């Protein structure tokens, strides 16, 4: 299952990389760190991230989270309030799915 989770993260990050309008992503740990630091091997280029707990009034272009996370209901509500739409859900094997929301 761990390898499935890694692959789901990689798939989501590749999708984010194709979105040219995405400059900042609201996402919890560990994806916050995985997107920020290329030396971890998940991304080639660093992407600015914000943790949901410390977002304040910061702006962001995407929201990414695990669908089974305890934060999922809060982040789905925030996405709806901000006018984001679900772009993709990433499912790999037995790993918890990831949900990606983007501005329309």
Q: Print pLDDT tens along the chain (104 aa).
A: 789 999 999 999 999 989 888 999 999 999 999 999 999 999 999 999 999 999 999 999 999 999 999 999 999 999 999 999 999 999 999 999 999 999 88
Domain boundaries, the chain: 2-102
pLDDT of residue 39: 96
pLDDT of residue 1: 78
- Distance CA(5)–CA(46), nearest Å, equals 20
Strands 98-102 and 85-90, by their bridges, are: antiparallel
Q: Are 12 and 64 in contact (CB under 8 A)?
A: yes
pLDDT of residue 21: 87
């Amino acid at each position: 299952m761990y390898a499935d989770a890694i692959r789901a993260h990689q798939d989501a990050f590749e999708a984010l990389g194709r979105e040219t309008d995405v400059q900042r992503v609201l996402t919890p740990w560990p994806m916050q760190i995985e997107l920020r630091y290329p030396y971890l091997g998940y991304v080639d280029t660093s992407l600015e991230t914000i943790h949901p707990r410390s977002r304040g009034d910061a702006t962001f272009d995407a929201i990414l989270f695990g669908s089974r996370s305890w934060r999922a209901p809060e982040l789905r509500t925030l996405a709806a309030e901000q006018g984001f739409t679900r772009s993709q859900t990433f499912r790999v094997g037995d790993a918890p799915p990831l949900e990606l929301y983007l501005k329309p």
